[in-house]
Each structure stands twice: as C-alpha cells, then as structure tokens.
Amino acid sequence: MGNKSLKNKNPGPNSNLEQLESTIAVANPGPNSNLVQSESTIAVAKPEQGLEQNILPKLVLSKEKQYKIIFLDIDGVLNNANSVVNKLCVIEIVLKDLLIGLIQKHTTDNVQVVIVLSSTWRYAENTRTECNNYFGSDSVYIIGYTPNYGTIRPYEIVSWLETNTNFGAKKSYSLVFPDEEFTDKYVEHLPIELTKLPGGQILNVESVILLDDLNYYNEIQTLVDPNKENWKRFLDECYIQIDRVVGLTEMDIQKIEKLWLTVPKKTV
C-alpha cells in the first residue's frame, strides 16, 4: 500500500476497479480447532506479510446463545462508486462503522450478531484477513464464508444455513434446490473448513439478513424451482438491496432493524 496516507480508506488487495468486485485465490485458515461439546473456536486466517497485524480475538460459539447472522457483501455495500484508490476498491471506514454500530447495538448476553462473508472478498486469504482485521478491532466477528458453487448467491447462502444452523430456511420456505445434474456443474471452490463450522457445530439462529448490491430477485429467476414465490418470500423477509452508488446508509440500517422487529423469530 506504500506510505500514502488514506483517509477513511484502506485498499482491498485484489479488488476490481471496473466491477467493484474482487477476484482472488484460495487458502486455508488455521488447521487446528479445539472443540468442546457445546462450543468451538473459530480460528482467524493468519495475515500475510505486509497486511495489518490486528488478529481477531477468537470467538467462542455457544449452543446456549441465539445468533443473528448478517450475510455480507463488500463491494457496493461497504464501499461505493467513489471508493477507488490507486485503481483498487477500498472499504470505507464510515460505512463499516455504520454496520459495526448496528451489530454492537443488537449484541446482548443472550444474542450474538455475527457476519458470514458472501462477497467475492472471501475467495483469498489476504482479503479474508483484511476483512477480519477491519472488524476485529471492534470485536465484531466473521464466523464463516458461504460456499462458492459459481451459482447465484441466495442458493449459496441457504446452503450455508442448511449446513451450519437450525434456521431451517429450506423447509420453512419450501425452497427447492438444484438437482444433481445441475449441482455437478458447480463444485465447491473453497475449502470445506472455510464453509463449515468446526466439528459440524449447528448454531441456534434467531434471524438472518442478506446485504448485497446485487439484485437477488433477478438472480432467483435462474433457479430450477418452478415455485419461485417461495424464494421471493424468503428474500422479502431477509434481504436488503444496497445502492452501490452510495453504499450502506442510515436508511438501510433502519430497514434491517425493522426486519428484525417484524419478521417472526426462529425458535430452537
């Protein structure tokens, strides 16, 4: 990044200037995860040389807690059309702090608000580490990464929920997944230790929020599910599209809080 001083900005190592998206390679997180029956520790990827050395404190996931999960895109959400430094997209500190304020406000002794990264920034260790560094200084946790099947993001997000939580999106909303012939074309491009919680732990999830500048309603039109209204109902209760021109706003934060108040909570 050199010695240039950047106000409210820190370049994403492999962000694409044209599309506000990051294309990156794959690496494994720390190999050791110690498990106890009711809780596990999520290890944070080791920073590469030259990146910030803020290491996230380890987050202990507990069966006794309820979780609100935010599936987070980066480009177009935590940055905008003006977020370019030296031809790289960057995370805007002001936008990040909006999200952190929301997470800290709604995290209690019994409910933990956490992030699962659905952005292309999840593809490589250096950008995963950068995201962990950004949030780690404020004790906000990225606990995992959605699988990368090369398909639409709503499908990848629901796949993560089915694997790691008791949220039951597939059953609750009667969602139909692609058939075997379809899924054979889209193999997982991320190591399983990134997309599955250690020891097969299942989280008690109260609610989920999907934040992205992509139009998920358009994306679900490509699904094989003949009853796309079920996917639409899922999105209506969980998804907020962010305007990529400006990124996350106070109005978006209010929409998230409204969904948390109005959408029925999932129970164990």
pLDDT tens digits, 152-177: 899 899 999 999 999 988 888 888 77
Confidence of residue 105 (pLDDT cuts 50, 70, 90): very high
Q: What are the domain boundaries of the chain?
A: 67-262
Of the listed ranges 43-47, 92-96, 143-147, the least confidently predicted one is 43-47
State CA 175 to chain mean position distance: 21
Task: Kindly give, in sequence order, each residue whose CB lies less than 8 Å from that of residue 157, ignoring residues fewer than 6 positions away.
Answer: 71, 116, 118, 146, 208, 210
Give the predicted TM-score (pTM) of the model. Answer: 0.77
Rounded CA-CA distance 137/56 in Å is: 7
19 CB-side CA count, 13 A: 9
Confidence of residue 26 (pLDDT cuts 50, 70, 90): very low
* Residue-level pLDDT at 266: 61
Asked if residues 100 and 135 have their Cβ atoms less than 8 Å apart, the reply is: yes
Task: Kindly give, in sequence order, each residue whose CB lies less than 8 Å from that of residue 223, ignoring residues fewer than 6 positions away.
Answer: 152, 155, 176, 178, 231
Confidence of residue 264 (pLDDT cuts 50, 70, 90): low
Q: Stretch 256-267: mean pLDDT, rounded? A: 79
Residue matched to tokens 């305007």: 243
